[in-house]
Amino acid sequence: MRTRWTRLRADVDTRRLHFCLRIAATAWLALILAWLFGLEHPQWAAMTVWIIGQPTRGQLLEKAVSRLLGTLAGALVGAWFLIHAGATPMLLVLGLALWVGSCAAAGNVLRGNIAYAAILAGYTGAMIALLPFDNPGTVLPLALDRMAVICTGIGVSILVNWLFLPYADTPQLEQQLRDLGARVLRHVRDQLDAKDNARRQDERLRILSALAAVEDKLDMHAAGSLRGRRLARQARKLLSGLLKAMLEVETLHSPATNERSNLHAVEDLNAWAEALEKGYIPSNLDGATQTGGFRQVPLNESRRLLEALVAAIAEYLRGTAQVPAPATSAGASPLILHRDWVGARNAMLRASGALLLVGSVWVGTGWSYGPFLLLGTSVMLTLFSTFDNPAWMMRYVFAGGVAGALASVICQALLWPLLPGLGVAIALTLPFILVGAALLSHRRTALAGMDYNMVFLLLLHPAWPVHTTASQLLSMGAAITVAPLIALVGYHFAFPVNAQRRTRLLANAVVREVTRLARHAPAPRRHARWRARHHHQLLCQMRSVEKSGEHAALHGTFAAYELGDAIVRMHGLLADPTLSPGTARALRTALRGMSRMAHDPNRIAATLQRIAHRLHRIEHEASTFVERASLALSGHPGFFARRQGG
């Protein structure tokens, strides 16, 4: 018995338990206050507290604002749908399917709390349109009541939790970025100094993983703070600059060890790395960003790479120190983030199709609890569509929902009728709410804990005398808890989504970008935007591969950068007046082939190899990057021979 209790305690995250107990007490307080204010659905205030509970002040504030805006937008749309289409249920279902599907798509394209606001607007619209379906005259009071309880939950959560929550740890993030800058400087130094290649490749992957981990938490760090947003933008520019240096240093074909004067650059990189780790700005860093800053280094690719690298670091350091950039500093590179448009399309079609199907069954059967099933389906197919493996999550959602429904039956049907009044009944919901905190804190039940809370509170109907029977609660609970099973089928069969498929979708997006680059005429701005977007795609792919284990996709994404860089140079090579007509025709043929490279990457690689040999015979410097493109294609034919549509 003692061993079992010890094991149980070991599975509980004590720090998380304290946090969840505070959120549970705040949710209970919000429930009581909303009831005292005379609001019709005080349980929604408690649900709001659980949903917006966050570990820092900035995240709490931004999640609260996002919930408020998403609720307002959804309430307006839901009320409009019910007023104009409530008399024709199938028309209402069609409108909700389009609205919820569009919001699911937006949630998969956007990032952070704004994505949550879009998803919330989708299922709030369904809630406002479906719950008062039998009595459309109550839609406006319902919408106003929902806004009031949401505001109550937000207000109570901020008032109670603000003093307990810290600000985001900006100094720690800044030090992480400095350390990453130092690691990249040393990696470039080793490349220029021709150190052990195997060790460099391992370090490159470790650095990439660290860069991706930092990028992954920038949105949370920036939440609720203008300074945090500015730092996040500066940090993303720095990450892009560091990644650019790591990628391009691999393609240098004139090692610095062959140029004695480059030894001075290696010494500078050592000194700057040490300075960054110690937390101060190297005294001669700004000078290196000026023309001639590496004047001892010949004007070649090595020098351009070094100047771009230190310019990225200097720009970040000036931004964090709030020092104006010198007039002669390098121009800022574009900051472009990857957007999962194919995943968004799939989420929209999946959600809209499922709602149309469930809605048709409801309209056809006239089941009185059909709106609850439709509402639950809209939540499951939007809120979880951004997860890495939503089908796997549905098991825990279902288990949590069943537990919450049973707890609601015990509370309202068995316990409340024995109590002297509604005030006492609401007060005695505290033990049931605390159960949710315990579930969220235990390693084995944490994934089901939030759904226990949501279903328990959603089925709560504070009224006296108690008029909700156990059979009614079970019917409503069944309608809500069946929704995860419907979503499970949807996530499994309708555009299946999991970590492996997300990795492949991102790989498809990378290949599409490269083929577009080959298809279009030279445009420096387009090339710069492609490079910036590919930097972010590579970081996203690193995080995705760490979850899916498909390392071939990561190596293919590296190869895609080399291929895209070669394509940019090949477009520029076509403008060379000394190029022979035959070589120019071969280059155009190769570019046309790369715009359709999924058909036969090996054939295109062979064509590029022949062009490289021709250029090498006339000692043209372009032979190196054309051969690099050939190797990138021939080394990863399976990566590039993929469906372009995703």
Assign 257 a pLDDT band (cuts: 50, 70, 90): very low
Tokens matching residue 163: 């003093």
CA distance 536 to 240: 7
Q: Taking residues 118-131, report their average pLDDT.
A: 90
Longest dimension (CA), the chain: 98
User: CA 263, 268, 269 angle in degrees (round to 5)?
Assistant: 95
> In this structure, which amino acid lies at residue 560?
A
Residue 404 has pLDDT above 70, yes or no: yes
Q: Taking residues 361-377, report their average pLDDT.
A: 88
pLDDT > 90 in the chain, percent = 34
The count of other CB atoms within 10 Å of the CB of residue 328 is: 9
pLDDT digits (tens, 9 = 90+) for 204-222: 889 999 999 999 888 888 8
Q: Taking residues 394-404, report their average pLDDT.
A: 93
Residue 3 has pLDDT above 80, yes or no: no
Residue 140 has pLDDT above 70, yes or no: yes
Assign 292 a pLDDT band (cuts: 50, 70, 90): very low
Closest by CA position to 572, among listed 589, 584, 562, 557 = 584
The count of other CB atoms within 10 Å of the CB of residue 463 is: 12
Give the up-direction half-sphere exposure of residue 90: CA atoms within 13 A in the CB hemisphere.
Answer: 6
Residue 555 has pLDDT above 60, yes or no: yes
CA distance 383 to 369: 22
Q: Taking residues 426-431, report their average pLDDT.
A: 92
For 85-89, 305-309, 370-374, which range has the lowest pLDDT when averaged over its residues? 305-309
Assign 272 a pLDDT band (cuts: 50, 70, 90): confident
pLDDT value of position 9: 62
Q: Taking residues 515-540, report their average pLDDT.
A: 84
Assign 319 a pLDDT band (cuts: 50, 70, 90): low
Assign 599 a pLDDT band (cuts: 50, 70, 90): confident
Q: How many residues does the chain have?
A: 646
Assign 4 a pLDDT band (cuts: 50, 70, 90): low
The 3 state secondary structure assigned to 75-93 is: HHHHHHHHHHHCCCHHHHH
pLDDT digits (tens, 9 = 90+) for 456-502: 998 888 877 767 778 888 888 888 889 999 999 999 998 998 889 99
pLDDT value of position 132: 76
What does each C-alpha distance from 114 to 106, 109, 153 come to in angstroms?
Answer: 9, 10, 19
Q: Taking residues 529-555, report their average pLDDT.
A: 90
CA distance 245 to 305: 6
425, 371 Cβ separation under 8 angstroms = no
Domain locations along the chain: 10-166+339-493, 170-222+225-321, 499-640
CA distance 172 to 179: 11
Specify the higher pLDDT residue, 542 or 292: 542
> In this structure, which amino acid lies at residue 161?
N
Tokens matching residue 270: 């050592």
DSSP category for residue 442: B
447, 393 Cβ separation under 8 angstroms = yes
Tokens matching residue 518: 């080959």
Q: Is 3 exposed, middle or buried (0-12, 13-18, 19+ CB in 10 A)?
A: exposed
Q: Taking residues 59-87, report their average pLDDT.
A: 89
pLDDT value of position 321: 55
Dihedral in degrees, nearest 10, Cα atoms 46, 165, 124, 479: -50
Assign 291 a pLDDT band (cuts: 50, 70, 90): very low
Specify the higher pLDDT residue, 199 or 356: 356
CA distance 637 to 631: 10
pLDDT value of position 88: 87
Rg (CA), the chain: 29
Residue 43 has pLDDT above 70, yes or no: yes
pLDDT value of position 613: 87
Backbone angles phi, psi at 12, to 5 degrees: -95, 125
Residue 259 has pLDDT above 70, yes or no: no
CA distance 202 to 184: 13
pLDDT value of position 10: 66
What does each C-alpha distance from 80 to 83, 126, 182, 510 come to in angstroms?
Answer: 5, 11, 56, 41
pLDDT digits (tens, 9 = 90+) for 103-118: 999 999 998 889 999 9
CA distance 442 to 8: 8
Helix, strand, coil % over all residues of the chain, rounded to 5: 75, 0, 25
Which residue reads 């090498």 in tokens? 616
3-class DSSP assignment, residue 194: coil
Average model confidence (pLDDT) across the chain: 83
pLDDT digits (tens, 9 = 90+) for 218-254: 888 887 777 888 888 888 888 888 888 888 877 664 4
The count of other CB atoms within 10 Å of the CB of residue 336 is: 18
Q: Is 406 exposed, middle or buried (0-12, 13-18, 19+ CB in 10 A)?
A: middle
Residue 152 has pLDDT above 50, yes or no: yes
pLDDT value of position 643: 53
